Structure 1
Amino acid sequence: MSHTHVPEQPLGRLSASWRHCVGTGRLNLALRADHRESLALVRREIGFRYVRGHGLLSDDMGVHRVSGGRVRYSWTYLDQVFDHFLELGVKPFVELGFMPTALASGEETVFWWKGNITPPRSHDEWAALVRALLAHLVDRYGVDEVRTWPIEVWNEPNLVNFWKDADQEAYFRLYETTARVVKDVDADLQVGGPAISPGSDGWWEPFAEFVARRDVPVDFVSRHAYTSGPAQHVPFGTYQTLTAPGALLDQFDAPRKHLAGTALAGLPVHITEFNTSYRPDNPIHDTAYNAAYLAPVLAGGGDLVDSFSYWTFCDVFEEENVPTSLFHGGFGLLAHRQVRKPTYHLYAFMARMGPHVLARGEDHLVCRDDDGRVTVLAWQPVGGTGGPDAPERHDVRLSVPVPGSRAFVRRERVNEHDGNAFAAWRELGRPRSPSARQLDVLRDCSRPAVEHSARAVVDGRVTLDLALSRHEVTFAEVLPVRPEEHEGLDDRRLLGVSDDRLVAAHER
């Protein structure tokens, strides 16, 4: 059991970097109703500020069109997507890619939807496309707005899957061409990269040396973070080993360490993708274990980077073809049809934490509001594949400061049973395409379990004994109570109330 005496004085403010951005699939999916309804939900309940997705320039967005030897830029779909984002209060984190077929130098593609991964056949034509895109965005949304949108050049060019031959020199040329066009459109637009995947830290020094030597603009740096091992494929799914959660935080910290002493030292660092597994068909994403695993990452990641973007907010996602089942190991915080997964609740709990950090430990985060409300996020620590099996119970005891003489304690639980639609889906027989009734059942079962009680404040404190079940993430809030008198009311006279518990609660 951990036992923490929480101090009254804050350690600082809770960083908002955990919800600065969230990922999605290719941007064409944002034209679909399920995607739009899911984005509206996560915006309302979690408050993500930016959304990043692939395929802005891919053929299914129709941006780069050629007919009769003439080039025309079409913004029809792009405007619908970005208009919707902004209507919801979410800004685009712009990823420039993949290559339009008519502008591509080769035929190599990635994903079921065939995003072209080759360099442009003409850098002048690429520059013209980027210039036209940014000029349109500035004209439609205003330069002050677009200046707040980070512009990231490509996605994981260090992998042959995403950039032909993982050609570093070719990527640097693309980055330079793009960055110079961005700044030519407006010097205050933000541009950055190299958006590399885990395991390629050898890119940092060459990238820093290249942009410094050629005086290429860089406003931020970006990379991705995952902790899963090689894919072990089964029909319509994948299993992988996981390293410990601390490995994600080590990956977050890597850019600053590698860039120390270079011309890029001190730049903002954005983790533009992170999760446990990098596969969109790994069932780990649907589990309570995933939420417990990521809890310390959300609690501590803000100390290391300016943002870290969960990949992704919903399962409207088709990299490995169209999913064949409601639960299929998708990246999303939400399954299709807005069914909340356990990791969704982790994010929703974080969104309700107070702004002032009072304490942080290996299994808890404690914050406070200005009005005295204390909020607690607690979780059972897990250690990845190599760690010990999580026990059936984990105890957290916290003594928290509360003003006044009485308090109201409310707690929500998500674990292997409570708040776990994936568990309910398995109990329902794993229906691939649930009926309307089954969807209602799954949504009901996805709600966290709730309990509440009245507490006496003793010496300015309330003690919370939180018994967490296996793989649990729990949220508790302690609200100061200011009793109001209601003359003539006596709960002891209520029919069915005969024990001393209500009297005790009334007197506490």
Structure 2
Amino acid sequence: MRLSSFAVGVSAVLLSSGPATAAPSAELPPIPVTVRVDSDRIVAPLPPIWRFFGADEPNYATAPDGVALMRELGQLRHDAVYFRAHNLLTTGDGTADFKWGSTNAYTEKNGKPVYDWRIVDGIIDSYRARGVRPYLEIGFMPEALSSAPKGVPYRRAWKPGNDYKGITAGWSYPPNDYAKWGELIYQWTRHNVARYGRAEVERWYFEVWNEANLDFYWSGNPEQFYRMHDVAIDAVRRALPTARVGGPDVAGSGDAFMDGFLAHVTTGKNYATGKIGTPTDFVSFHAKGQPSVVDGHVRMGIANQLKTADAGFAKIAAVPSLAHKPIVIGENDPEGCAACPGPANAYRNGPLYASYTAASYARLWTLARRRGVTLEGALSWSYTFVGQPWFAGYRQLASNGVDLAVFNVFRLFAKLGENQVAATSDGEVALDTIVRDGVRAAPDVGALATRDRAGKVAILLWNYHDDDVPGPSAAVHVALSGKHGATARLWRVDATHANAFGEWQKLGSPARPSAAQVAQLKTASRLVAETVTVTPGGMDVTIPRQGVVLVELQP
């Protein structure tokens, strides 16, 4: 790590770490809330949409901290977790940096292709060895295939604080030879089938590029993207006719680019085959929130994220041939740049990110059901930034090998059952209200309950507010009906539970924690179960502001 990068990271800490979370006010009495759960009444299946993750920097998957975190991801649900990464075809030596990575998979010698899969194999091997599968993003453009005009550099180095547009360079251009581009994808897919097996690769997702509707990532026009997409998808299917293919992983969901893409893959002439339409097994787009700073505190923008997701669902549902295809929100986050710190992004290290995640994912399940679409995944663009200062203010799941509070919410999601059962909360913000306005008045004290095949009932509870300011706890009475056990395990994520960042602040925010302090941080990061007795009337749970609780009732 260069000294300059370290200095940048320290600045990020100073700007973006923020408080562990808004503390409850001792002067405000708890808000009484009643949650009613009928564990015998199944509402609908609950697909595990939370099991998708991703990052700009693919090479971190082979670094020690990245490997350790990949192992933890795989343990959420072995062989059912997926990881998406940019830069899997980018030219370079495999050294990761902010918003950058490379594999050198394609170069040319005397105008002839040279394929080298060693680095990209190492990345995918790291996934598979730890129970994670690729959501395989085909991109970006190798230097030898880039159509960038003479004088445009292949890469422009970027660091936090720079203009986001500064990432755009030769890697973002269409291919200068579509036949060579198609052959690259064909050979890569053939190689993956030979290396990992047909049955394995059939379980992957294949999509082309990232956010081609933004000139940050795509220096061509829509038709050039459709052509590049068609050629790549055709190449994948020639190598593996049963491959799961889709796209377009655009930013947002409502612009003309998405309209054009949906029209092209359903009714347009395929650039590779000359037939009408392009094989599409799943449809993907991105949904982001919009945090801000108001009166010196972070205000989250959950409404923006939910509106975007709902608009995407509606757009896909309106195309008859795609209406019942699986949907993956290929990036699903509180805002748009994981490597960009700043005051508005100070939600990231502590429980505010955790409670936002619980409240937003719960609404995604409901919105998809209301639109009648099949939501298969909501991918959190969060991993880790190797070699950066502690709690540097980036959107990630762990800092220097210590898990952040938000990762523990994904662990709670992994404890949910396959079927959602009836649950209501009189403290929950109504769906239409939170989509329109967010959570700006009363807090959102919500509930989601499930039952698994073995009969275990799990109840997820949260006390969320967009404004990260002191607020009252929620005194939640859970009234239970239906079959359930007499004892419960209770897991907490809040300012004082499963929150390493709060512990780091208590230690004085050391820039270089000692070995003993690192051990203390790891202990503070862990979920710890409490045993709770369930009475005939149910049970009582207190949830602090920006807190999340999971209750497990054994059969």
| Aligned mate of 1:191, from 234, 245, 253 | 245
Give the greater-gyration-radius structure (CA).
1
What is the one-letter code of the residue matched to 2:103?
Answer: M
CA distances 1:179-227 after superposition (whole Å, capped 9, x unpaired): 2222222332222211111265322221122221212222221111110
CA distances 1:338-384 after superposition (whole Å, capped 9, x unpaired): x12111111111111233322344311122345543322110032x3
* 1:258 to partner: Cα distance: 1.4
What is the one-letter code of the residue matched to 2:126?
Answer: H
2:329 equivalent to 1:329: no
Query: What is aligned with 1:274?
Result: 332
Kept after mapping to 2: 8 A contact 1:414/1:449 = no
In the alignment, the residues of structure 1 paired with residue 532 and residue 236 of structure 2 have an alpha-carbon distance, to the nearest angstrom, of 56
Query: What is aligned with 1:255?
Result: 312
Query: What is aligned with 1:91?
Result: 133
Kept after mapping to 2: 8 A contact 1:390/1:471 = no
In the alignment, the residues of structure 2 paired with residue 178 and residue 369 of structure 1 have an alpha-carbon distance, to the nearest angstrom, of 40
| Aligned mate of 2:67, from 19, 36, 39 | 36
| Aligned mate of 2:384, from 315, 329, 335 | 315
Structure 2 residue runs without a partner (length 5+):
1-31, 92-101, 160-166, 270-275, 369-374, 429-445
In the alignment, the residues of structure 1 paired with residue 132 and residue 362 of structure 2 have an alpha-carbon distance, to the nearest angstrom, of 23
Shift of the 471–16 alpha-carbon distance from structure 1 to 2, 3 Å rule, reads same
| SS of equivalent to 2:422 | strand
2:268 equivalent to 1:213: yes
In the alignment, the residues of structure 2 paired with residue 5 and residue 228 of structure 1 have an alpha-carbon distance, to the nearest angstrom, of 32
* 1:402 to partner: Cα distance: 6.4
* 1:30 to partner: Cα distance: 1.6
CA distances 1:20-56 after superposition (whole Å, capped 9, x unpaired): 4211342222221211111101211455521111111
Kept after mapping to 2: 8 A contact 1:255/1:269 = no
Instruction: State how 1:20-419 maps to structure 2 within 5 Å.
Output: 20-45=51-76, 47=78, 49-59=81-91, 60-106=102-148, 107=153, 109=155, 112=158, 116-164=171-219, 167-198=221-252, 200-211=254-265, 212-214=267-269, 215=276, 216-228=278-290, 242-243=300-301, 245-259=302-316, 260-261=318-319, 263-280=321-338, 281=341, 282-303=345-366, 304=368, 305-312=375-382, 314-316=383-385, 323=388, 325-337=389-401, 339-361=402-424, 362=428, 363-382=446-465, 384=466, 389=469, 391-401=471-481, 407-419=486-498
* 1:449 to partner: Cα distance: 5.5
What is the one-letter code of the residue matched to 2:315?
Answer: H
In the alignment, the residues of structure 2 paired with residue 111 and residue 97 of structure 1 have an alpha-carbon distance, to the nearest angstrom, of 18
| SS of equivalent to 1:61 | coil
Query: What is aligned with 2:551?
Result: 476
* 1:440 to partner: Cα distance: 0.9
CA distances 1:35-80 after superposition (whole Å, capped 9, x unpaired): 1111101211455521111111012312012234442101112222
TM-score, with structure 2 as normaliser: 0.76
Root-mean-square deviation (CA, aligned residues, Å) is 2.7
Structure 1 residue runs without a partner (length 5+):
233-238, 481-508
What is the one-letter code of the residue matched to 2:131?
Answer: G
Shift of the 176–10 alpha-carbon distance from structure 1 to 2, 3 Å rule, reads same
Farther-moved stretch of structure 1 (32-41 vs 348-357): 348-357
Shift of the 144–6 alpha-carbon distance from structure 1 to 2, 3 Å rule, reads same
In the alignment, the residues of structure 1 paired with residue 128 and residue 71 of structure 2 have an alpha-carbon distance, to the nearest angstrom, of 11
What is the one-letter code of the residue matched to 1:219?
Answer: D
Kept after mapping to 1: 8 A contact 2:254/2:315 = no
CA distances 1:227-262 after superposition (whole Å, capped 9, x unpaired): 025899xxxxxx97532x344333223233113135
Instruction: State how 1:442-481 maps to structure 2 within 5 Å.
Output: 442-448=521-527, 450-456=529-535, 458=536, 462-479=537-554
Kept after mapping to 2: 8 A contact 1:419/1:445 = yes
Paired residue total: 457
Shift of the 96–240 alpha-carbon distance from structure 1 to 2, 3 Å rule, reads farther
Query: What is aligned with 2:26?
Result: none
| SS of equivalent to 2:181 | helix
Higher relative contact order (CA 8 A, sep 6+): 2
| SS of equivalent to 2:38 | coil
Farther-moved stretch of structure 1 (214-223 vs 254-263): 254-263
Deviation beyond 6 Å, 4+ runs, structure 1? none
| SS of equivalent to 2:233 | helix
2:33 equivalent to 1:2: yes
Shift of the 6–85 alpha-carbon distance from structure 1 to 2, 3 Å rule, reads same
In the alignment, the residues of structure 2 paired with residue 265 and residue 176 of structure 1 have an alpha-carbon distance, to the nearest angstrom, of 21
